[in-house]
Structure 1
Amino acid sequence: MLTSPSPEGSVDPRQTPDADPSSAPASPPGGSRYMIMIVSGLLALGLGLGAAALPVPYVVESAGPTFNTLGQDGDKQVITISGRESFPAKGNLDLTTVVMTGGPKSPATIFDVFRAWLDKSKAIYPEELIYPKGTTAEQTVQQGEIAMETSQENAVAAALRELDIPFEQRLTVAGLSDASPSAGKVQDGDRLVSINGKPVTSMSVIQTELSAGAGAPATVVVERNGSVVTETVTPTKNSNDRYVLGVLLSSDFTFPFDVKISLDNVGGPSAGMMFALGIVDSLTPGDMTGGKHVAGTGTITADGAVGAIGGIAQKMIGARDHGATMFLAPAANCADVVGHVPDGLQVVKVETLADATTAVERLGSGKDTSSLPTCTNN
C-alpha cells in the first residue's frame, strides 16, 4: 500500500519508540481476531490446495493426437517400404490415440478428475480397471511398446494377406490355458506343423479345422527339438463358443521385403488396423482414399480380424476435431459407439481388414457410402 509523506516537521509516532501513545491511530475493533481469521483461512486454503494436488486412484481419458499413416511423424515417414515398389498416397488414414492422465506413469489429482467431470468429452475410470494393482510405470511403458511392436508385425502380415502377397508365418506354443485339452501333449516351444493334415500357415487354418470338426478329436503335428511329434487333441469350447486347443501361440514372420513403421511416443495395439490400411494403400497404385480424410482404430491379427480397443468415444472426438469425415470402428466396440458419435462424422462398423478396405475405397471413389454397415442399438 502506498502512503503519503508526513507533513514537514511532523513525526510518525509508529516509527518513534518514545512517541506519545495517545497520538497513535486507534486499532480497529477486534483486530487480533480478524488477523487470526485471515491466517486460519490462508492455512485452510493451503491445506486444501495441498490435498487437491495429492494423487487419487482414478484415470482420466481424453482425446489425443492423430497420426496419418500415409504421412510423416516429424521428419520421418510413418510407413517406409524397401525391397518392393511402393506408391506415394494422398489423403489421410489417421490412427487415433487417447491421452491417459492417472496411473503409474502420471498420477491424477482431484483437480484433474474434477475438470474431467465437467468435460463431457473426457471419461473417468477407477485406476484398477485400467492398470492391474502393483503395475509400475516401467512395466506400463514396456507393455505398451511390446503391444505396439506386435501390432505392427500383425499389420504387415494382414496387409500382405489382403494383397495375396505370400510370406512365411510360424506359430509357436507360448503356453497353455487353464484346463487345456493339450496339456501333457503339447509343450512350450513346440512349433505347429499341421492340423488334420493341413499345413498350419496361419491361425485361421487352426480355427477352420476345429470349427469344421465341431469338437471331434484333431490330429496335431508339432516340431519339438528337431523332431516331429504327432498328438491327438480333443478341443473344448471357450467363452466365445469357439472350439480351441487351449494353447497360447506366438507368431514369427518372414516377409519378402521390409516394411518399417516409425512412430514415437505411442504405445499399445490399437493402431494395428490403420497401419495395415496404410500399408495396403502404399503397395497399391493410386489413392485408396481419393484424397479424403479417414480415421479409425482397432487391433489387427495376422489373418486380418479387427478387434476391440479402449477409449473409442474419445478417439472419435479426436478424429472429428482433426478433420476426419469417416471413422472405422471395430464391430466389437459398437456398444461404446452408439450415442457418442460426434456431429459430422460417419462411423462405419468393420470386422476385418477387407471390410475397412472396402469402406475406404468406396469413399475414395466418390460412391455413396450410406449403405456401409454402422453401429446400431440392435
Structure 2
Amino acid sequence: MPRRTATMLASTLLLIAMLCAGLLIQVPYAEMSPGPTVNTLGEHDGAPVLNIKNRRTYETSGHLNMTTVRVTGADYRMNLVEAVGGWLQHDSAVVPHSTLYPEDKSAKEVDQQNAEEFSASQESAKVSALKELGIRVPSYIVVGSVVKGGSAEGRLHAGDLIRSVDGKAVKNPAAVADAVTKHKPGEKVRFTIIPAAKVKAAQKAGKKPSPRDAEQITVGTKKAEDDGRPIVGIQPATGHIFPFDIDIKLADVGGPSAGLMFSLGIVDKLTREDLTGGSFVAGTGTIDDKGKVGAIGGIQMKTVAARAKGAKYFLTPSANCQAAAQDRPEGLTLVKTRTIDDALDALKKIRDHDTGGLSRCKAS
C-alpha cells in the first residue's frame, strides 16, 4: 500500500475513533438556548396571560413579550461532541452543569425554587404596577417558605398570613425571626395565622383577610446546625392585599426574570393610553416592589428569541446591557432599563416615534 494512502487511511481511522470517543465521553456541562417568548398582552394556550377582574381594563395593541431560556434537563448528560458544537454556536451557551443544577440540590428542589421565584416575581410585578398607577397596596407578613424537615413542616404553610408571634403583632419579616430567637431550642412558639387558602380567597374577592379566620398554631424550636440559634424552619416574607384580582397564567415557566414585562402588561391593561402604540417590544428583568429592575441570566439567548419572533425593541436590565450589546441581533434595539419608570419612558418614546432619544445599551 502506498505510503500516502496508508497515511490518509490512518488519519481517517483516527478521526473516526476520536469522533466515537467524543460521542461516548460525557462532560459535566449543560446547554442554554433561546426559549419561547410570550406576549403578556395576549393569550397563551387559549387563555389570557393577564386576567384582571373587578376593575376596568382597556384595549391594548402591539406586544410586550416576556422571554425565556430553554435548558437541558437535570438528568441529561452532554457528550463532548455536543459541548463543542454548543460552544461554536452563537445562539446557545454551554455552562457547567452545576451552574443550573447545584450539587447540593435535587432536580425537584431546583424546580421548586424556580416555581417559588416565579410566584414571587408575579407578586412584585403586581405591586410595582399598581404603585406606578397610584393604587394603594397594603402589605402584611406571610410564611414565604417552609424548610423541608423543619419543625414547622405540616403545621405552617407558604402563604399563611402571620398576625402575631407569642401574642405580639409583627410588622416585618425580621420581627418574626426576632420573636423566635427569644426562645431556647426545644421551647414552643405560638403563631397566630390566617391560613393561606383563606387569604387567597379573600384576595380573589378583593377583600382583606378576616381576623375571624385566624388560628393558633404552636411550633417547637430546633437548634440551627450552623450557629445553634433556635429556629422553626420558616422563611418569613412580605405579602400584599390587592384591591382587585390580577391572575397571571403561564405554565411551564420558572424563575423571576419575567417580572418587568408582567408589570408593564398590567399597567398597559389598566391605562387608557396604549403603551406600545402597536410596536413589538420584548424584554426581561426581575422587578421588586419599588419598581427596580434587576439582572437576569441568559441574556443573549433571550435577545435572539425576541428578534426571531419579530421584536424590534428589547428592554434590557442595565446590569445586562454590556453583555447583550456584545452579540446584539441585527435589527433589535437594546434599551437600557433600570426601573419601571425607565421602561415606561422608553415606551412613550417608541410610540411617539422619538427613538433617537432612547437610552441604548453599549458593548463597552
> TM (normalized to structure 1)?
0.66
Q: 2:264 aligns with which of 272, 277, 282?
A: 277
2:62–2:278 CA contact under 8 A, matched in 1: yes
Which whole-Å CA distance do the structure 2 matches of 1:67 and 1:298 have between them? 15
After superposition, the Cα gap between the structure-2 partners of 1:168 and 1:323, relative to the gap in structure 1 and judged at 3 Å, is same
Which whole-Å CA distance do the structure 2 matches of 1:306 and 1:90 have between them? 24
Partner of 2:289: 302
1:139: Cα distance to partner?
A: 1.4
What is the letter of the counterpart of residue 327 of structure 1?
F
Partner of 2:312: 325
Partner of 1:92: 63
What is the letter of the counterpart of residue 148 of structure 1?
F
Partner of 1:161: 131
2:326–2:363 CA contact under 8 A, matched in 1: no
Partner of 2:45: 74
**1:343 and 2:330 correspond:** yes
Which whole-Å CA distance do the structure 2 matches of 1:169 and 1:96 have between them? 29
> TM (normalized to structure 2)?
0.69
Which whole-Å CA distance do the structure 2 matches of 1:168 and 1:253 have between them? 6
Partner of 2:213: none
Q: After superposition, what is the alpha-carbon deviation per residue over 1:77-109, rounded to whole angstroms, capped at 9, x for unaligned?
A: 10000011112311100001111125x253333
Which whole-Å CA distance do the structure 2 matches of 1:55 and 1:88 have between them? 52
Secondary structure of the 2:112 match is helix
Gaps of 5+ in 1: 1-36, 176-186, 201-223, 227-247
Partner of 1:375: 361
1:171–1:252 CA contact under 8 A, matched in 2: yes
Q: After superposition, what is the alpha-carbon deviation per residue over 1:17-36, rounded to whole angstroms, capped at 9, x for unaligned?
A: xxxxxxxxxxxxxxxxxxxx
Query: Cα RMSD over matched residues?
Result: 3.4
Q: 1:120 aligns with which of 90, 93, 103?
A: 90
1:352: Cα distance to partner?
A: 0.7
**1:191 and 2:194 correspond:** no
Q: Which has the larger radius of gyration?
A: 1
Q: After superposition, what is the alpha-carbon deviation per residue over 1:24-76, rounded to whole angstroms, capped at 9, x for unaligned?
A: xxxxxxxxxxxxx9xxx8xx979965862564211211111110000111111
**1:59 and 2:30 correspond:** yes
After superposition, the Cα gap between the structure-2 partners of 1:168 and 1:352, relative to the gap in structure 1 and judged at 3 Å, is same
1:312–1:333 CA contact under 8 A, matched in 2: yes
Partner of 1:291: 278
1:295: Cα distance to partner?
A: 0.3
What is the letter of the counterpart of residue 98 of structure 2?
E
Gaps of 5+ in 2: 1-8, 146-164, 176-189, 193-234
Partner of 1:233: none
Aligned length: 282
Secondary structure of the 2:104 match is coil
Q: 2:105 aligns with which of 126, 135, 147?
A: 135
Partner of 1:20: none
1:335: Cα distance to partner?
A: 3.0
Q: 2:54 aligns with which of 56, 62, 83?
A: 83
Which whole-Å CA distance do the structure 1 matches of 2:331 and 2:252 have between them? 29
What is the letter of the counterpart of residue 317 of structure 2?
P
Which whole-Å CA distance do the structure 2 matches of 1:160 and 1:193 have between them? 21
What is the letter of the counterpart of residue 368 of structure 1?
D
1:316: Cα distance to partner?
A: 0.7
Q: Percent identity?
A: 39
Q: After superposition, what is the alpha-carbon deviation per residue over 1:248-287, rounded to whole angstroms, capped at 9, x for unaligned?
A: 8611111000011111111111000000000000111242
After superposition, the Cα gap between the structure-2 partners of 1:316 and 1:49, relative to the gap in structure 1 and judged at 3 Å, is same
Q: 1:266 aligns with which of 253, 256, 263?
A: 253
2:317–2:336 CA contact under 8 A, matched in 1: yes
1:110: Cα distance to partner?
A: 2.7
1:172–1:190 CA contact under 8 A, matched in 2: no
Secondary structure of the 1:106 match is coil
| Worse overlay, 154-163 or 338-347 | 338-347
